Structure 1
Amino acid sequence: EAPALGDPALREEIAEHLRRMRGTARAAADVLVTAGTREGLGLLLTALGTTEGRRLTVGVEDPGYPSLRRIATRHGAQIVALPVDADGLDTSALPDGLLDAVIVTPSHQYPLGGSLPIARRRELLDWARRTGALIIEDDYDSELRHLGSPLPTLAALDDPGDGSVVLLGTFSKTVSPALSAGFLLAPGRLRGVIEPVRADLGGAVPAVVQTALAAYLRSGELRRHTARMRRRYAARRELVVERLLGLPRVRVRPMSGGLHAVLQFDAAAADLAAREQRVLAAASSAGLGAVALSDYWQRHRRASELFGLVIGTGGGSDDAEFDVALGVLRGILRAELRG
């Protein structure tokens, strides 16, 4: 059985991985092994809730990843919607004195794809220091950036000892969806809060999986595999733009990386909500995986939502099958969005 905080060899390899791939130089002692981002978030919220002894107030991006919002809610947190624009979280709209924590995806906002500019990153860190709030950084698919180099994490700009950023990551996007393994990187001042909770709950990843993952990271194969993935998904991204070019009332939003594409419907079109549902139903009937773009907004902020589709560009299908699926989707969009 692996130690509750994780196999020491794996913690060392994750620290080295973060240094090489994410520009984040931290000690292995700051790394906890988790079963992925969601498990890490649950662990952190449990630790914070135990420490505060009251209901937490957590800010989430809106639009944002629904499962992270649901996890915070299931841990009893009160959720506050925080607006997002093309560059990610709107840091000028952060409230003072209200939030215990904010969950943010600065490297690749989901689903709209913005990357938080350095000025906003510093503003967010300054806000956290001023208010005492915690920044929970979800490093979702940041290594799969196909325009330019991956941006350093917020944690890389933070104080390793007395900082405000907890970094959550997973290997399920880069290694395999079947691999439930990830990490939590915490500043020194928070380790004493989180580590006892992990010790009580026990480790979340089998020892044999941790040993194998440590060896895989040590070999350098993950870096090579990630480079291949970047090239492949950049080509798929170009294919999405090419195959859907010229369709009326829909555009492919710019995206610097990741495993999805956002197809936004023209705001001038009538009955956008109904059209979105018709397209979604037709796509589902054709066996195509898609999610309504409007589903990423919190219900009470629907006035600010956009309509369209979010489609995956990863997955196990070969490139020829992916191209065929895009042709089917093009036909659906043409039929449902005309007029």
Structure 2
Amino acid sequence: MISARPQRARDIYAALKAQIGTGVYRPDAALPSTRTLAAELGVSRTTVTAAYEQLHSEGFITGRQGARARVAAMPAAAKPETPDDGVNAARPALSRFGERIAAMALPARPPGSAGLVADFRYGDLASTDFPADIWKRAVAMAASRRPQRLSYDAPAGAEELRQALQGYLWRARSLRCEMEQIVIVNGSQQGLDLCARLLLEPGESFVVEDPCYGMARQVFAAAGGVAIPVEADQDGLRTDRLASLSARLAYVTPSHQYPLGGVMPVARRLELLAWARRCGACIVEDDYDSEYRYDIAPVPPLHALAEGSEIIYLGTVSKALSPTIRLGYLVLPPTLAPIFTTAKALADRHAPGLEQQALTILLESGAYERHIRRSRRRNAERRATLLAALSRRLGDRIVVSGADAGLHVVLWFRDVAAADEAKFIAQGRARGIGVYPIGPLYMSPNTAARPDMAGLVIGYASVEPQEIERGVAILAELVEAFSRAP
């Protein structure tokens, strides 16, 4: 019998189902009458009847009016699982794609910021920088534009948004394209996934910068691609290393290499394009934080130089507005746009409509670009505070790279060995600062491409100037402690 005193039909249903599954009630065994069980449990007969009806509708019990319900006869394989069955049960067979996913581990989510003096995590933005009032008004305006009927949207994205992006990309990035070449995606990660699944066959090679954005490398590997790491330096991808290589695809961040921060000069860009044409490769250009330039003028994307013939341009609003607004966009060669649109439709039909309309309003009104200018000024202040504090407190004990653009810098510590990177970070958190290693962004931790020094990726877009000052002071104390350690 049921030992607890459940008060709801759901509780009674769950208890009886579990007892059927464990054999307390065997096939063809009679269950208590609804009147008897209701009296025993101190609930209404209606409550028990509702539980029995649910069990009957799922096929666990049989019965007819005027007769007691009985447990249905079921083959052994069809019996409900006991609580322990799920622990030891064999995993269903996976596809090769599924097996590759099972063998992967996503980058661990860093611990929270609670209790930290400063958290220099890259990718986070300051909540105070988000244009909350402007966004609320745009969402309200979008919601007021009620369609005549509710229906699925165009898989390539709302036409109004694609038109607005076409104009914005020409104004902001000197990128010419037709609206039909733009496909709206749920953030840059979905754009990368579409590229991987549509452009790579299992076993085919792809070129990737070393170090690089780990989630990009993983998405291509999940599709079965074989990574060819090519060293990146202060000028981005070492294109002189491509001459003897052949690949189906290359993933690059030429306008601001992640994480080292280099901007690829025009000679390397031309060399990369020539290589792609020679071996028939497609280039995926990730322009992830193109809005932020400080000591250098905006650099036109690779797409503008090549007129898009073999370039897939990937952009996002994650660094301009918020990572929580899952909107990005692909600018595709005309021959690929319909294929990507079909794949997008099969994946999720379309991106969220309300957010698309709100972003369209911001782009059409000029509010988006005004917001970017404000964000650029605020982040320029944070950057200046960070660089000044690093220079004042650490001087020539560190090497700073990637400071001309973006929302992070890379720090190399002359007094801390690469092998001590993890220990250095752990002690930093113990002292109240969140700092994050560059090591996992290299394909091989022992590659000759990286210096034999501990390296940190220091994001500053979510840290206020006073927090930056305190955080760098603690960082300097930590470096001093490491330099004195035997």
Normalising by structure 2, report the TM-score. 0.65
Quick one: structure 1 residues 153 and 232, their matched pair in 2 at CA, closer, same or farther if it must change by over 3 Å?
same
Residue 26 of structure 1 aligns with which residue? 177
* Mapped partners of 1:259, 1:37: distance in 2: 17
Contact 1:37/1:183 (CA < 8 Å) preserved in 2? Answer: yes
Quick one: structure 1 residues 210 and 284, their matched pair in 2 at CA, closer, same or farther if it must change by over 3 Å?
same
Contact 1:34/1:182 (CA < 8 Å) preserved in 2? Answer: yes
Q: Which of 103, 110, 123 is 2:258 aligned to?
A: 110
User: Does structure 1 residue 101 correspond to structure 2 residue 249?
Assistant: yes
Letter of the structure 2 residue corresponding to residue 43 of structure 1: L
* Mapped partners of 2:332, 2:267: distance in 1: 23
Over 6 Å off, 4+ runs: none
Quick one: structure 1 residues 118 and 128, their matched pair in 2 at CA, closer, same or farther if it must change by over 3 Å?
same
Shift of 1:226: 1.3
Shift of 1:236: 1.7
Letter of the structure 1 residue corresponding to residue 333 of structure 2: P
* Mapped partners of 1:45, 1:119: distance in 2: 27
Residue 7 of structure 1 aligns with which residue? 158
* Mapped partners of 1:214, 1:237: distance in 2: 30
User: Does structure 1 residue 178 correspond to structure 2 residue 324?
Assistant: yes
SS across alignment from 2:336: helix
Shift of 1:324: 2.1
Quick one: structure 1 residues 9 and 94, their matched pair in 2 at CA, closer, same or farther if it must change by over 3 Å?
same
Shift of 1:291: 1.5
Residue 314 of structure 1 aligns with which residue? 461
* Mapped partners of 1:219, 1:334: distance in 2: 51
* Mapped partners of 2:292, 2:445: distance in 1: 32
Q: CA RMSD in A?
A: 1.9
Query: What CA deviation, in whole Å up to 9, does each residue of 1:58-105 have, x standing for no partner?
Result: 111001111111111122211110111111011111145621000000
Normalising by structure 1, report the TM-score. 0.91
User: Does structure 1 residue 277 correspond to structure 2 residue 396?
Assistant: no
- Matching of residues 155-174 of structure 1 within 5 Å: 155-160=303-308, 163-174=309-320
Count matched residues: 330
Residue 292 of structure 1 aligns with which residue? 437
Shift of 1:164: 0.6
Unaligned runs of 5+ in 2: 1-151
Unaligned runs of 5+ in 1: none
Residue 303 of structure 1 aligns with which residue? 448
User: Does structure 1 residue 228 correspond to structure 2 residue 379?
Assistant: no
Quick one: structure 1 residues 230 and 220, their matched pair in 2 at CA, closer, same or farther if it must change by over 3 Å?
same
SS across alignment from 2:295: coil
Quick one: structure 1 residues 324 and 301, their matched pair in 2 at CA, closer, same or farther if it must change by over 3 Å?
closer
SS across alignment from 2:448: helix
> Whose radius of gyration is greater, 1 or 2?
2
Contact 2:231/2:449 (CA < 8 Å) preserved in 1? Answer: no
Q: Which of 199, 208, 211 is 2:357 aligned to?
A: 211
Residue 62 of structure 2 aligns with which residue? none
Residue 61 of structure 1 aligns with which residue? 209
Letter of the structure 2 residue corresponding to residue 108 of structure 1: H
SS across alignment from 2:291: helix
* Mapped partners of 1:153, 1:14: distance in 2: 15
SS across alignment from 2:206: strand
Contact 2:385/2:465 (CA < 8 Å) preserved in 1? Answer: no
Shift of 1:146: 1.1
Query: What CA deviation, in whole Å up to 9, does each residue of 1:204-232 have, x standing for no partner?
Result: 52111111111111111121111122222
Residue 72 of structure 1 aligns with which residue? 220
Q: Which of 187, 196, 201 is 1:45 aligned to?
A: 196
Contact 1:249/1:337 (CA < 8 Å) preserved in 2? Answer: no
Query: What CA deviation, in whole Å up to 9, does each residue of 1:302-321 have, x standing for no partner?
Result: 23223321111112x43322
Shift of 1:184: 0.5
User: Does structure 1 residue 148 correspond to structure 2 residue 296?
Assistant: yes
Shift of 1:155: 0.7
Shift of 1:338: 4.2
Residue 232 of structure 2 aligns with which residue? 84
Quick one: structure 1 residues 54 and 280, their matched pair in 2 at CA, closer, same or farther if it must change by over 3 Å?
closer
Quick one: structure 1 residues 95 and 36, their matched pair in 2 at CA, closer, same or farther if it must change by over 3 Å?
farther
Shift of 1:249: 2.9
Contact 1:106/1:115 (CA < 8 Å) preserved in 2? Answer: yes
Contact 2:202/2:223 (CA < 8 Å) preserved in 1? Answer: no
Quick one: structure 1 residues 332 and 157, their matched pair in 2 at CA, closer, same or farther if it must change by over 3 Å?
same
* Mapped partners of 2:237, 2:330: distance in 1: 22
Shift of 1:256: 1.1
* Mapped partners of 2:213, 2:353: distance in 1: 30
Shift of 1:301: 5.3
